[in-house]
Amino acid sequence: MIKGAIFDMDGTVLDSMHLWMNFGPRFLDHIGVPNDPEAVQEATKTMLYKEMNDYFNTHGFTDNMSLEEFTETADSMAENGYFHEVLVKPGVTDFLKKLKERNIPIALATATDRYMVEAALKRNGIYDFFDVIFTCNEVSCDKKVTTIYDAARDYIGTPISETYVFEDTLTPVRTLAPTDYKVVGVSDKWSAHNEEKIRQLADLFVYNLNEIDLDTL
């Protein structure tokens, strides 16, 4: 039985993965640095800001760019999308309402910075559904480890075997699959190439959260 829920945001709650796909090449284009888009995208596709900045500096794309400068430029590229553009994915609002009606605590675990998270959730009218928000920057980890999910679960206080994690991409699903968390793979067009692998690893796979009958979880 589901006792707690932890949601990823980009591609799971919000239709926002287009802001991050090919972000490495787009960043270099933005600052006028020639690059091989396919190679840079492949190398940087799972990196957080610090990792990407380090990669660009050590591979000669940038000349000792500070993390502060990198972050300022990267955030300016993303802010417009979160503040003005991205929308909640179909079925999400109704599903969050169903969880709240059953008093099931809901956490958000995301790699996106908090101020952009809060702006996008509030603009879409779903901010108040979440009992807590954790970001990768704040807990100093990526989703190749379970740290952010463990922090969220500790906060909502639910048993691991009755805590469901909703994710749209392969890396976190692969991280969670060997654990006692229940994993729900959520379809997103940007992860379609990994759908079969996600299906194999997740406990459940859905195209729309409204497909889920809470009584069966």
Task: List, for residues 123-181, the tens digit of each pLDDT value.
Answer: 999 999 999 999 999 999 999 999 999 999 999 999 999 999 999 999 999 999 999 99
Regarding whether 128 and 73 lie in a shared domain, the answer is no
pLDDT more than 90, % of the chain: 91
**Which pLDDT score is estimated for 213?**
94
- Average model confidence (pLDDT) for the chain? 95
The CATH code of the domain that includes 177 is 3.40.50.1000
- Rounded to whole angstroms, the Cα distance separating 96 from 6 reads 11
Q: Given a cut of 90, is residue 20 above it in pLDDT? A: no
**Which of 85, 107, 137 represents a domain boundary (last residue)?**
85
Type of residue found at 137: N
Q: Which of 66, 85, 104 is the last residue of a domain?
A: 85
Domain count, the chain: 2
Mark whether 107 and 55 lie in a shared domain.
no
127 and 200 share one domain: yes
Q: Which domain holds residue 154?
A: 4-16+87-216
- Residue-wise pLDDT for 92-128, tens only, equals 999 999 999 999 999 999 999 999 999 999 999 999 9
